[in-house]
Structure 1
Amino acid sequence: MFTLRRIICLLLALFLYLSSLPPLTAEAADVNPYQERLALYKKMETVTNVPWYYLAAVDSYERGLRKARRDRPDAEGFISIYYAQEEWVGPLNPNKDDVDPTTISLFEGIGLDGNGDGKALLSDDEDVLYTLARYLESYGFTEEDFRIALWHFYQREQSVTIVSGHALIYKQHQRLDLHNHAFVMPLNHNYSYKSTWGDRRGWGGRRIHEGTDLFANYNVPIQSSSHGIVETIGWNPYGGWRVGIRDLDNIYHYYAHLNGFEKGIEKGTIVEAGQIIGYCGSSGYGKPGTQGKFPPHLHYGMYRDNGITEWSFDPFPSLKQWERTAKQAKKSKA
């Protein structure tokens, strides 16, 4: 039989146990973040008439920036758009924790109340998204208006290009869950590769190898490893015939030394993970059309953008992961 003392001890133990658990974030909760975000985007579209895919594009870009930069904390909710506290409440506002939309406006802060609770909270997804939507709305609703708004927001042409590309991808697919990947070659072809990122390269001056070489026969199909948009295509003296695709995590995927491009692949083309974009070759290291200075292979590189600059990182771990996933999928279908 339970005594009052024993019940109190059990409750105290339960309280201590629950207190020791990590906080439940939006990402960790048993919800679909894509559905939650899309609902927020479409709600703000209804309120402001700003197309939801514009809001999704900025949010996706900002999510990538948070992953790439150490000076920004992880997002607490579903929306990753970042505003500095001082910008939110106003640079001359003596109350740096101000949540009153009236005084925030008085001190020329940008924070707005997006859900009608009388508060402008930097930690509230609806308030943050509404603030962005009203900013975009002030410039207009066309694609050109969107690009102008982005230029004033980021003051960087590359950021404008990336966010605009995100918007086109979301507009075409009409959904958000576009972050799956594919291996860069069909598994039924012979190929080999190892980690070569950082190796020395001599042609064209001393430099490091900014990618992984996957050796295969001529004209083996090359597949896009991600959903994205073709940002660059054509000849490069180092990479020969190459394609550059930007994904929704702001990562630039570089496919070089191709023997040719798949029909219909051009600048601005929106591609899906696993879609054929070109064919393995040995082009490069010279003027347009130079071939055969090395065995046929795909040079595959990955570059991360942090809103200020862009740098390469080792794609080998990602390639191995995508290859394993592809093999498991093939095995499960057999």
Structure 2
Amino acid sequence: MIKKIIALMMMVMMSFSIITSIPAAHAEEKSAETIYQERLALYKDMEAITQVPWYWLAGVDTYEKGLRRARKDRDSADGVINIYFSPKEWAGPLNPDLNSDNPSAIALFDGIGLDGNGNGKASLKEDADVLYTFANYLSDYGYDDDNIQIGLWEYYHRDQAVNIITGHARIYKKYGRIDLDDEHAFPVPLNYNYSYRSTWGDSRGWGGRRIHEGTDIFADYRTPVRATSYGIVELKGWNKFGGWRLGIRDLSNTYHYYAHLSGFEDEIETGDIVAPGDVIGYVGSSGYGKPGTEGKFPPHLHYGMYRDNGYSEWSFDPYPSLKSWEQRERSN
């Protein structure tokens, strides 16, 4: 009861703050800086109301942003918050008006939608309402990391979703800001000798007929290999195809795969947070055999990218991203 009274008082106060702007302009009409500022302000406002740490809300929102990008059944967000609720989920499955923004009617039909800015409406088109609804859901489980993770599992019913969101939250907590997803680095330093071309989809024969799911960047042995994005090291070890390899999950839910390394950077371990340009390993020719096998092909970095859609992952061509990151880095 006390919690509800506090929440109501905070919502009244918020009615005089930034989040009461009705309805906000479409995100694509705003500058990137403005979008980041508005998002962070909303996360922190909702933390004040629900006690759910802002970086967890940012982690969820970022995960949902990646899902919107990867799936065809979700449109782009209308505002700056990317969390998705279907009209049935929001208004209630038996609600005859799935566009209803009446909180009483939504509650009557067991909808999840709540009024987050105190304007008397619970609208899917209001960023504050959407974010408050999810934050309120998480707050029912608790405010510490373990209970929030339980709440996330109960919502998504997928371990990988919880892991990805947890990684996003850890990154935001460490850096204290959210404008990180546009920063990238080319996988090898530009002052080293290297060459590459688009090789995604080429046929491969060793170990069975398959396609090449990545781009090969040829360079000398022990050329440094760098993280291309902010992310979490999800995987480290040996694979008979990729040799010594690392996997890093970034803030777009994309998994970056680095293979055929000659070795890893000292002390890098699974669970580590990395930033663009951090050295994570070194170019080699490992793979195509038991652990330690090397020299069956020229030294190079196999770089792959895999997109997560909330159900599964699939590879896509990393070459356009590599060219973009290389060109941007050369121009700086």
TM-score after normalising by structure 1: 0.90
1:270 aligns with 2:273: yes
Distance 1:114 1:188 in 2: 51
Relative to structure 2, which stretch is displaced further, 243-252 or 148-157? Answer: 148-157
Runs (5+) with no aligned partner, structure 1: 1-22, 330-334
Which residue number corresponds to residue 37 of structure 1? 39
Distance 1:32 1:262 in 2: 37
Which residue number corresponds to residue 53 of structure 1? 55
2:149 to 134, 147, 150: 147
Distance 2:90 2:190 in 1: 51
Distance 2:89 2:176 in 1: 32
Decide whether the 8 Å contact of 2:25 with 2:79 is kept in 1. Answer: no
Per-residue displacement from partner, 1:307-331 (whole Å, max 9, x unpaired)?
11110001111111111111111xx
Per-residue displacement from partner, 1:224-251 (whole Å, max 9, x unpaired)?
1111110111111111111100000111
- Taking the TM superposition and a 5 Å limit, the aligned residue runs for 1:241-256 are 241-256=244-259
- The verdict on how the C-alpha distance between 1:34 and 1:164 changes in structure 2, with shifts beyond 3 A counting, is same
Decide whether the 8 Å contact of 2:256 with 2:303 is kept in 1. Answer: yes
2:200 to 197, 201, 213: 197
Shift of 1:206: 1.0
2:104 to 102, 105, 110: 102
Which residue number corresponds to residue 166 of structure 1? 168
- Taking the TM superposition and a 5 Å limit, the aligned residue runs for 1:58-137 are 58-137=60-139
The SS at the match of 1:135 is helix
Distance 1:96 1:327 in 2: 51
Distance 1:50 1:320 in 2: 39
Runs (5+) with no aligned partner, structure 2: 1-23
Which residue number corresponds to residue 5 of structure 2? none
- Taking the TM superposition and a 5 Å limit, the aligned residue runs for 1:173-192 are 173-179=175-181, 180-192=183-195
The residue type equivalent to 1:244 in the other structure is: G
Relative to structure 2, which stretch is displaced further, 285-294 or 80-89? Answer: 285-294
Distance 1:242 1:57 in 2: 26
Shift of 1:264: 2.3
Aligned residues between the structures: 307
The residue type equivalent to 2:274 in the other structure is: V
Relative to structure 2, which stretch is displaced further, 36-45 or 153-162? Answer: 153-162
Per-residue displacement from partner, 1:36-94 (whole Å, max 9, x unpaired)?
10000000000000000010001001011111111101101000000000110111112
- The verdict on how the C-alpha distance between 1:24 and 1:126 changes in structure 2, with shifts beyond 3 A counting, is closer
2:304 to 282, 301, 304: 301
The residue type equivalent to 1:281 in the other structure is: G
The SS at the match of 1:257 is strand
Distance 2:279 2:34 in 1: 30
Distance 2:259 2:220 in 1: 15
The SS at the match of 2:28 is coil
Decide whether the 8 Å contact of 1:27 with 1:33 is kept in 2. Answer: no
The SS at the match of 2:246 is strand
TM-score after normalising by structure 2: 0.90
The SS at the match of 1:27 is helix
Which residue number corresponds to residue 327 of structure 2? 324
Shift of 1:24: 5.6
Shift of 1:26: 2.6
Decide whether the 8 Å contact of 1:214 with 1:298 is kept in 2. Answer: yes
The SS at the match of 1:96 is coil
Distance 1:259 1:55 in 2: 39
RMSD: 1.2
Distance 1:116 1:320 in 2: 47
Distance 2:44 2:246 in 1: 33
Decide whether the 8 Å contact of 2:36 with 2:178 is kept in 1. Answer: yes
The SS at the match of 2:217 is strand
- Could you tell me the percent identity over the aligned residues? 63
1:312 to 312, 315, 318: 315
Distance 1:273 1:97 in 2: 43
Distance 2:223 2:273 in 1: 22
Decide whether the 8 Å contact of 2:201 with 2:211 is kept in 1. Answer: yes
The SS at the match of 1:215 is strand
Which residue number corresponds to residue 214 of structure 1? 217
For the pair shown, which has the larger CA radius of gyration, 1 or 2?
1
Distance 2:28 2:58 in 1: 17
Distance 1:73 1:218 in 2: 45
